[in-house]
A and B are shown apart, each in its own frame.
Chain A
Amino acid sequence: MSDLTQPVIATPAPAKIRSQWWDVWAQFRTHKGAVFGLGFLIFITLFVTIGPWLWTVEPGKLDIRNKDVRPIYQVLFDSNAKVSWNHPMGTDNLGRDIMANIMQGGRISLAVGWTAMILAVFIGTLIGVLAGYFRKADGLLMRFTDLVLALPLLPLLLVMMLLFRDPLRASFGPENGIFILIVVGIGITSWMQTARIVRGDVMALKEREFVLAARSIGTPSRRIITRHLLPNVLSPIMVSATLGLATAIITESALSFLGLGFPSDFPTWGKILFDSVDRMTAFPERVIWPGLAISLTVLAVNYIGDGLRDALDPKIRGL
């Protein structure tokens, strides 16, 4: 059986200069906002990954003598401001370098965002495909999805943070424990939209001739799903993945902002923002930098999603 399907799969694609993904990229490039967004996302990713190697200041290092240094541009407004080229973005009330903290915090925020998004998309795709493909599972799974959608998610997420914080911290260490908790918490509370979209698309695709053809030559369900259905629902999955990344970053920052995220010696963008709110009258830059980082990253991701939606839609592409 697999011998029969093998030649079809193994047939080398005709030597075309323009592949499908090249078309997608060409369309994507026409969306200015999306290109800017992608550029900014790459920039911020490099900033937080490579940055700490170039800017080798320890983010948690206390330096009381150099506390409350203002960012370097303050000289322009006030020549007496306490600034230093050693701390271009300034330091906080314990003398910790803000730029190093933003880099370190960005690592955590982006890592949480990506992992939580991958988890949510995985769960959503799994449930969506199962519900769309197997009619028997459909009623149960979609009823379950509706139930989860009716839950007040932010309060429940807060409850989860509070409840499982100590046990997970005890078993995985303070940093990994909270990381796992936040990622799993965000993941299992944001898969529902993906599941609904994937289910709808799979249900429509299932009735198409190519799936019928695949089934008529005896392809097992598992292979129909992986070979024929999943590649066809890839574009809505990718679009909802970008939205998921944006919401995951915002949710993590919101949890940190409410004081229920990572411990305070462990910076994330939301945490830095939260810690600086008390002194924002004297040092507004300390809230603006992390807030700007969150907002611009999410804005960039949203624009990428917008561009991807157009680029992956074959009706629009190529016009």
Chain B
Amino acid sequence: MLIYTFRRLLISIPTLLFIAFVIFMLLELAPGDPMAQMPLTIPPEVKEKMRIALGLGEPWYVRFPLWLKQFFIVEPQYWIDSAFGTNFADGKQRIISFQSRSPVFDVIAQRLPQTLWVVGMSYVVGVLIALPIGIISAYRQYSVFDQAGTFVSMIGFSVPPFFSGVLLIVIFSVQLGWLPSIYDTTLVVRDWATFKQQLMQMVMPVMVLALQTTATVSRYMRASMLDNLSQDYVRTARAKGMTESVVVMKHVLRNSMIPVVTVIALGIPAIFGGAIITEQIFKVNGLGQLLILALQGSDIPMVMTITFLLAVLIVFMNLIADVLYGILDPRIRYE
């Protein structure tokens, strides 16, 4: 298993390099000029100098390795420096955003907590809702609960987040006035009142994202439970006189969780993608909004870095899902 993990890690290096190259070349083709917003009165030779100052003077085969070096070597050095007070980085050039002229990773670090809170919370809530729904739906197959569960998950698949979010705002903020429609990220939780406020403003974005997760995970949970409920070992367990709760919650559930755990791991990148839209609706100033702003401003280093970070997340989660599958299911042996 350790050798398999190690080999997968090695394979993921060329994969990630290729992905970085694809993203880089796509952005390289960009006709969007970061100088487009500059006044027209700037003389062309000054403009040329400004382009060089932005690091655009070199051809792509110089800039791409440079970006890789900055991403994989310089940035971790800065990170270690700030964590342990060392001085590995030694003032090396970091990845700089075109828009804010500050290091890309500093901006990302400012935005990450909001996204992580909303996305992480919604994923946890979504999974926690989905698991019982899946279990009960499978145990009482074709019952009213199962039909309702199927319908709700169908809705979760079909209603896009930009409609469910807007609908929630119309109902709960506009008509009923219960919840705030805008996520206030400057709020600091100090006492009970601010905690309540934080809770209120998180309800809608979390529910919108959780609906998508619930739909997927509960379907998988149901299918996996159904597969296991008809197996011989379940009959054996019942024949031995075990109580129904032990049979279902211990024997069947444990075996059914194996594929579901991998689905949960694989779904994490997707929910970060979904956050791009949700953050736009609820005006959360997280990573998704940062990406949209960077795209609109032709901020190439920022777009490149965020997109690549998402790719890293996808590759990494695929790896985790495969390894988890091997650990949880002893029948699976990667040679």
Contact = CB atoms under 8 A, between A and B. Distances in A.
Contacts of B15: 146-147, 150
Interface in A212-249: 246
Interface string B272-288: 01001100110000000
A203 interface: no
Interface string A284-296: 1001100110110
B276 A258 contact: yes
Contacts of B129: none
Contact of A163 (B29, B296, B311): B29
Nearest to A297: B158
A155 B170 contact: no
Given A155-B276, A295-B158, A280 B169 contact: yes
A159 B307 contact: yes
Contact of B163 (A159, A284, A295): A295
Interface residues of B, number: 44
A156 B26 contact: yes
B154 interface: yes
Interface in A280-313: 280-281, 284, 287-288, 291-292, 294-295, 298-299, 302-303, 306
A246 B31 contact: no
Interface of B is mostly: helix
B32 interface: yes
Given A151-B19, A152-B314, A302-B158, A291 B166 contact: yes
Contacts of A273: 162-163, 166
A159 B26 contact: yes
A302 B152 CA distance: 13
B170 A284 contact: yes
A239 to B, nearest CB: 14
Contacts of A159: 23, 26-27, 30, 295, 303, 307
A294 B15 CA distance: 36
A158 interface: yes
Interface in B143-173: 154-155, 157-160, 162-163, 166-167, 169-170
A162 interface: yes
Contact of B295 (A162, A280, A281): A162
29 contacts: A150-B15, A150-B19, A151-B311, A154-B273, A155-B306, A156-B26, A159-B23, A159-B26, A159-B303, A159-B307, A162-B295, A163-B26, A163-B29, A163-B30, A163-B32, A254-B277, A257-B280, A260-B295, A273-B162, A273-B166, A277-B281, A287-B166, A287-B167, A288-B170, A295-B158, A298-B157, A298-B160, A302-B158, A306-B154
